[in-house]
């Protein structure tokens, strides 16, 4: 038997840590670009006498996860999600294999290896015990010389259930296995807080399983006379509850470069307590019209971890986080424009596109608008390219978001402006119908449920002592 060196680290209930390598769609977040059912880059597999059912849309360790439920078994065989293979490191034979899992029976972590001579093997990594909660399995395995392609497999044989998420494979030196990452990253940003974008664009983004960054003019929500055009503060909070990022677009949306020092200082400083009052960490700012001076830039850099401009270019590492490029797409933008951006980003190691949108309308009367169908075309193109979609704060590692596991219940209207009450009701229904996230993307606190559970426990103990059964 080939040499095998491994260790197992089981950790329960810990915060998510960054994985050293990202196997294509390692987190099961992206759907098939061709419209097929299931996650991109993954297929299902049953071998031998095993029969199983497969589920994709369950809540995973982060975002979505994948499930294998064995319903019948025999003397041989297994069931598993079968991911696309990826190139071996080439510099070392030792790999660290990892994923997060839940299972009610023992399961096996394997590394499939394809060699230069055309042969292949299945290298055992570790046999894992049952785990009732999401648990990280990390083990090291040495593979023979000549490995060209690899694939991580987490298999289940006995009747039972296995959930997996966030799969990783890293060479001994810590270098990511290639092409073990997305070809490009795309961020969808929405400026101002327009109700039309909230009603007509953001639900479409959510249907793809994606979230965006919203730059809000902080005096506009709830302002008398503005409620037919702009979202309400409760809608802002609902966005964050659905794991969107909310950031600053100044206090009143002026051209900062035309103001006095006292005026622009107020415009960039005063939104912070309002944002934090809504539950946002105020990680970023986007100056209106993309206008600023070196003095303003220096001041913003002291207040915000990042600033987004309107420079229409691809961001490439090392990112200038206080002058991030942002590319505006309007009703005159064609898919070719985005196609060119995606192609350029794919040629850069770490290419990152930040798209900027404003208003939405079925007829798009000016270049400040996009139509819902046009926006859908942009979404479909990003998905076709297999790009990773993240908020700005997510991509910078400032926050971690767990997207909702189910399709949103928001009503996608194709009229430019829905009544605020209707929009509010739709978002409230969505927020109340599924577990959301806080401003940092963590699940919302459940302390009221804990208090209730403790109260019931105390009552049961008191009842037991007095031989009285609770009703």
CATH code for position 351: 3.20.20.370
- In this structure, the answer to whether residues 336 and 305 fall within a common structural domain is yes
- In this structure, the answer to whether residues 213 and 150 fall within a common structural domain is no
Closest CA to 131 of 8, 6, 7: 8
Of 171, 206, 240, which residue sits at a domain end? 171
Q: Check residue 374 and give its pLDDT.
A: 94
The CATH number of residue 119's host domain is 2.60.120.260
Asked if 56 and 66 touch (Cβ cutoff 8 Å), the reply is yes
For residue 431, the 8-state DSSP code is H
- In this structure, the answer to whether residues 246 and 318 fall within a common structural domain is yes
DSSP string, 267-287: HHHTHHHHHHHHT----EE--
- In this structure, the answer to whether residues 308 and 360 fall within a common structural domain is yes
Strands 160-171, 94-103: pairing is antiparallel
Q: Is 438 contained in some domain?
A: no
- In this structure, the answer to whether residues 283 and 377 fall within a common structural domain is yes
- In this structure, the answer to whether residues 195 and 160 fall within a common structural domain is no
- In this structure, the answer to whether residues 167 and 190 fall within a common structural domain is no
Of 171, 202, 236, which residue sits at a domain end? 171
Q: Is 49 contained in some domain?
A: yes
Q: Is 255 contained in some domain?
A: yes
Strand ranges for 129-176 from DSSP E = 131-142, 147-155, 160-171
Which residues, 6 or more positions from 458, have their beta carbon under 8 angstroms from its beta carbon?
Answer: none
- In this structure, the answer to whether residues 135 and 197 fall within a common structural domain is no
- In this structure, the answer to whether residues 152 and 201 fall within a common structural domain is no
**What does the angle CA 220 – CA 440 – CA 394 come to, to the nearest 5 degrees?**
95
Domain that holds residue 155: 11-171
**pTM for the full predicted model:** 0.53
CA dihedral 193, 199, 200, 201 (to 10 degrees): 50
Rounded mean pLDDT for each run of 10 residues along the chain, 471 residues in total: 34 31 73 69 89 88 91 92 75 83 95 82 93 93 83 94 90 47 84 96 92 97 92 94 95 97 98 96 95 96 95 88 94 88 82 95 84 94 88 86 44 32 31 33 39 46 38 29
- In this structure, the answer to whether residues 141 and 221 fall within a common structural domain is no
Asked if 139 and 109 touch (Cβ cutoff 8 Å), the reply is yes
- In this structure, the answer to whether residues 248 and 305 fall within a common structural domain is yes
Q: Is 457 contained in some domain?
A: no
Helix, strand or coil, per DSSP, at residue 301: helix
Closest CA to 241 of 15, 9, 434: 434
Asked if 114 and 149 touch (Cβ cutoff 8 Å), the reply is yes
Q: Check residue 324 and give its pLDDT.
A: 95
φ, ψ (nearest 5 deg) of residue 136: -90, 130
User: How many independent structural domains does the chain possess?
Assistant: 2
Q: Is 442 contained in some domain?
A: no
Q: Is 466 contained in some domain?
A: no
Q: Is 164 contained in some domain?
A: yes
Of 171, 206, 234, which residue sits at a domain end? 171
What's the rounded Cα separation, in Å, for the pair 291 and 310? Answer: 9
Which residues, 6 or more positions from 14, have their beta carbon under 8 angstroms from its beta carbon?
Answer: 136
Q: Is 227 contained in some domain?
A: yes
- In this structure, the answer to whether residues 20 and 43 fall within a common structural domain is yes
């Amino acid at each position: 038997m080939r040499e095998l060196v491994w260790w197992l680290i089981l950790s329960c209930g810990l915060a998510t840590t960054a994985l050293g390598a990202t196997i294509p769609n390692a987190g099961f977040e992206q759907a098939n670009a061709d419209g097929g059912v299931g996650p991109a880059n993954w297929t299902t597999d049953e071998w031998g006498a095993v029969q199983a059912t497969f589920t994709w849309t369950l809540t995973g360790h982060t975002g979505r996860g994948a499930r294998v439920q064995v319903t019948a078994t025999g003397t041989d065989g297994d069931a598993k999600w079968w991911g696309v293979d990826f190139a071996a490191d080439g510099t070392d034979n030792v790999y660290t294999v990892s994923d997060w899992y839940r299972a009610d029976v023992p399961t096996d972590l394997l590394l499939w290896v394809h060699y230069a001579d055309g042969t292949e093997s299945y290298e055992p990594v570790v046999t894992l015990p049952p785990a009732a909660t999401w648990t990280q399995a990390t083990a090291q395995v040495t593979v023979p010389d000549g490995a060209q392609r690899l694939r991580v497999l987490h298999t289940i044989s006995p009747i039972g259930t296995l959930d997996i998420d966030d799969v990783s494979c890293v060479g001994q030196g810590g270098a990511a296995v290639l092409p073990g990452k997305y070809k490009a990253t795309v961020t969808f940003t929405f400026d101002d807080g327009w109700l039309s974008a909230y009603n007509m664009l953001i639900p479409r983004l959510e249907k793809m399983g994606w979230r965006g960054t919203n730059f809000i003019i902080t005096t506009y929500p709830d302002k008398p006379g503005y409620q037919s055009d702009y979202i309400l503060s409760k809608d802002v909070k609902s966005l964050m509850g659905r794991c969107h990022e909310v950031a600053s677009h100044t206090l009143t949306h002026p051209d900062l470069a035309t103001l006095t020092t006292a005026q622009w200082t107020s415009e960039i400083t005063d939104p912070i307590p309002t944002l934090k009052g809504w539950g946002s960490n105020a990680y970023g700012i986007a100056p209106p019209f993309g206008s600023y001076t070196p003095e303003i830039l220096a001041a913003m850099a002291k207040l915000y971890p990042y600033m987004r401009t309107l420079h229409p270019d691809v961001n490439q590492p090392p990112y200038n986080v206080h002058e991030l490029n942002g590319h505006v797409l309007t009703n005159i933008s064609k898919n070719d424009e985005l196609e060119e951006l995606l192609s350029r980003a794919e040629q850069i190691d770490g290419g990152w596109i930040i798209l900027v949108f404003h208003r939405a309308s079925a007829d798009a009367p000016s270049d400040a608008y996009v139509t819902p169908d046009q926006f859908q075309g942009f979404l479909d193109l990003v998905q076709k390219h297999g790009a990773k979609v993240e908020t700005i704060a997510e991509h910078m590692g400032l926050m971690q978001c767990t997207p909702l596991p189910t399709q949103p219940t928001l009503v996608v209207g194709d009229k430019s402006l829905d009544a605020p009450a209707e929009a509010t009701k739709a978002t409230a229904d969505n927020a109340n119908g599924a577990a959301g996230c806080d401003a940092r993307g963590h699940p919302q606190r459940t302390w009221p449920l804990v208090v209730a559970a403790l109260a019931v426990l105390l009552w049961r103990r008191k009842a037991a002592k007095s031989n009285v059964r609770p009703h």
